[in-house]
Amino acid sequence: MTQVAIKTPPTRVATLSVECVTALEEDDLQALCEATNAAILDGGGFGWINPPGQQVLERYFRGVLLVPERDLLIGRADGLIAGSAQLVRQPRNNEAQAHGATLMHSFVAPYARGNGLARLMMIKAEEKARALGYKVLNLDVRETQQAAIALFESLAYHRWGEHPAYARVKGKLVRGFFYTKMLK
Ligand SMILES: CC(C)(COP(=O)(O)OP(=O)(O)OC[C@H]1O[C@@H](n2cnc3c(N)ncnc32)[C@H](O)[C@@H]1OP(=O)(O)O)[C@@H](O)C(=O)NCCC(=O)NCCS
């Protein structure tokens, strides 16, 4: 089945919230998968190039909740899940880098963008990382994700490196940028 991205103008939302979850109700899981699907269709930087389908996404997020090294943050716009991010720790053997966590797979569904949800998710992710004792937060992004780059740089993330063949999208290599921030 061919899936088509439906572009809608930004919707104004009244309330935003972000929480770190260890379980998801069925309707929340559905909303998270729909948001993810919409972000992938939009070219969203979530690793997937083609939407894998609802069942795969459901299994994926159920799996994320089981991984001890991952914390799943979800962002809600007017109560509905519209974005997420993952805070990822080093495996236990990596004591030398145990002071750092990586923020991965952050996105907001196209229909909820422009309302400040991604900024709130970043702030909450940093708070969570600090609360867990991390001193450094790392992240990386395709050079084509201009909105995300603007967001990270506005939050004082320092670009320390580039990868010339970071991703391959529709047969084309895309550069990637690596960022870090010392958590005070
Ligand atoms: C990047 C992304 C998460 C931003 O989500 P959002 O909820 O619309 O962002 P916010 O409304 O919180 O805006 C936060 C900041 O992002 C930047 N930003 C957001 N949209 C932008 C745009 N269209 N152009 C340039 N900068 C933009 C701005 O710095 C903005 O701050 P400001 O409002 O003070 O100007 C969203 O566009 C997205 O999911 N993109 C695809 C996935 C992705 O790139 N993920 C990150 C790397 S994995």
- For residue 39 and ligand 1, the question of a CB distance below 6 A is answered with yes
CA–CA separation, 123 and 138 (whole Å): 14
- For residue 116 and ligand 1, the question of a CB distance below 6 A is answered with yes
| Cβ contact 28:74 at 8 Å | yes
| Residue position matching structure tokens 């870090």 | 180
Q: One digit per residue, pLDDT tens: the chain, 184 residues?
A: 334 444 455 678 899 999 999 999 999 999 999 999 999 999 876 789 999 999 999 999 999 999 999 999 999 999 999 999 999 999 999 999 999 999 999 999 999 999 999 999 999 999 999 999 999 999 999 999 999 999 999 999 999 999 999 999 989 999 999 999 999 8
- Expressed in angstroms and rounded, the spacing between residue 146 Cα and the centre of ligand 1 is 8
State residue 45's pLDDT score: 63
- Expressed in angstroms and rounded, the spacing between residue 3 Cα and the centre of ligand 1 is 24
State residue 46's pLDDT score: 76
State residue 44's pLDDT score: 78
Residue to probe by mutation, ligand 1, list 105, 139, 151, most atoms within 8 Å of CB: 151
CB proximity list for 10: less than 8 A, separation 6 or greater: 111, 113, 114, 115
Quote the pTM value: 0.93
Please give the structure tokens belonging to residue 72. 């799943």
Domain ranges of the chain: 2-134
Q: Name the DSSP class of 155.
A: T
Give rounded-to-5 percent helix, strand, coil for the chain.
Answer: 30, 35, 35
State residue 178's pLDDT score: 98
- Amino acid type, 81: I
Helix (H, G, I), strand (E, B) or coil at 1: coil
What's 2-134's CATH class? Answer: alpha beta
Task: Let me know if 101 is exposed, middle or buried by CB neighbors in 10 A (0-12, 13-18, 19+).
Answer: buried
| Cβ contact 86:67 at 8 Å | no
| Cα dihedral 57→21→126→150 (10° resolution) | 30
